[in-house]
A and B are shown apart, each in its own frame.
Chain A
Amino acid sequence: MNRHGTQIAKCGLAVLSVFSMGLMAPVQHVQAQVQSIYNTALPSVIRVAIRPFNNPFAPILYVQTIGFEEYCEDVLPNEWVPSWNQQALEAGAVAIKMFAWYYTLHPTTENGWTYDVDNTVNYQKFVYLSGTPATDAAVRNTWNVVYTPNNGEILPLEYRSGWPGSANWTFVGSNVMSQWGSEYWGSVANLTYPQILNLYYPVYTLKFI
């Protein structure tokens, strides 16, 4: 009787433990949904919806699939200015990559077209084959660098044009980088690209992949 009772207790514990594991499983699943640099590989390609004349309001002509690094090289000279300070270009290269990486994980379907980004300022201005030596170098120099919150979550680094020739103080600490501001901080204050990024995205940190 006593031995039988022990067996029942053992069985009950086993069932309970299996049941409790089953209850815990969804919690682990939710935690795994955060897409971070620790569980998500850098994309090899990206789908770009092409709108005529880079017009953000125009209908989609076609979707072009292109290598992810080539995409970044064909965005940087159109978002930043190739003749700008190299540190500003490298800050831009990191922002462009993180922005695009996020949207490869969050694609859009519009009028039957499925794409990650388009070629306009709805996302980032992309012109196929427009890479320049200076901007290509900036993309290459920062290719193993990411800029994320502490948990490594892949989030878009937002940016705007800002005011030409000024420090663009309104953007500092806002989690939105000013393109003109990055040029100012790079060329006038001689800041490095991690320092420029830190000015605009203070809660993010630089990591290597």
Chain B
Amino acid sequence: MFGKQLCVVMATFLFVYGLVFGWSGKHLALANTVSVANRVQMEFRVASGKDFKRIAGARIILVQSNGSVLTSGQTNTSGVWRADVPLQQDPRFAGVEKLGIVTAIAVANGFNEEVVFEVPVKQDMVQPIILNPIRGGRRNEPVAVLGNLHRNALAKLVSRYATQLGLKRQTIPTEFDVPPWSPNQKS
């Protein structure tokens, strides 16, 4: 009788053990898969602001939101660097668009440095960087520019927070496109 009860308890324990750890293992594997799938390929194209020719050998450093270097690489003879980077969702775009944001620092021989803020991280994203040539006898300092955020991403970002605050849209009598948001809240 006691042996039978023991068998039932053991069987139940093994069943639950298998269920829990088996599922966890599967889940862990799935998590790894998701992590791999979250890597995206982006393209940086670097050209001169003087003659618009591509710049080979330019180095691009990608910095993530926590301040650490994400990755770095140099452009090929076509002035292109293809980067494979993890997509870490930017919280400002959460629920709006699957989009990460990094900062890119570009340096190249014969050119001033450039810092590109708000570079969108997305599959097949293209980020052009136009560098300014060094000028003798002048102050050659880094310049700041903005990343190539799509117009739609900007509109979605604005709509997300305007909706959150309960704002209403303005009206433009001569235009039937989506009008800008108003500072006034819906009554």
Contact = CB atoms under 8 A, between A and B. Distances in A.
Interface in A69-109: 77-79, 81-83
A149 interface: no
A144 interface: no
A128 interface: yes
Given A81-B150, A127-B148, A161 B178 contact: yes
Contacts, number: 53
Contacts of B2: none
A127 B176 contact: no
Interface residues of A, number: 28
B177 A130 contact: no
A129 B45 contact: yes
Contacts of A83: 123-124
- The interface centre, meaning the residue of A130, A162, A174 with most chain B CB atoms within 10 A of its CB, is A130
B126 interface: yes
Given A53-B145, A129-B45, A170-B176, A161 B152 contact: yes
B151 A121 contact: yes
A163 interface: yes
B56 to A, nearest CB: 14
B151 A82 contact: no
Interface in B133-187: 145-146, 148, 150-152, 155-156, 175-178
29 contacts: A66-B52, A77-B126, A78-B148, A79-B151, A81-B150, A81-B152, A82-B124, A125-B151, A127-B128, A128-B52, A128-B128, A129-B47, A130-B45, A130-B128, A131-B126, A132-B124, A132-B126, A133-B124, A134-B124, A160-B175, A160-B178, A161-B151, A161-B155, A161-B177, A162-B177, A162-B178, A163-B178, A164-B152, A170-B176
B151 A78 contact: yes
B69 to A, nearest CB: 24
Contact of B150 (A78, A128, A170, A176): A78
B130 interface: yes
A129 B152 contact: no
A167 to B, nearest CB: 14
B178 A130 contact: no
B20 to A, nearest CB: 39
A51 B72 CA distance: 29
Contacts of B150: 78, 81
Contacts of A130: 45, 126, 128, 148
Contacts of A190: none
A17 interface: no
Contacts of A164: 152, 156
Contacts of A122: none
A64 interface: yes
A64 B126 contact: no
Contacts of B126: 77, 129-132
Interface in A128-167: 128-134, 160-164
Given A128-B52, A163-B178, 10 more contacts: A78-B150, A79-B151, A83-B123, A160-B175, A160-B176, A161-B152, A161-B178, A162-B177, A174-B176, A176-B176
B128 A64 contact: no
A204 interface: no
Contacts of A64: 52
Interface string B56-81: 00000000000000000000000000
Contacts of B176: 160, 170-171, 174, 176
B157 to A, nearest CB: 13
- The interface centre, meaning the residue of B123, B128, B152 with most chain A CB atoms within 10 A of its CB, is B152
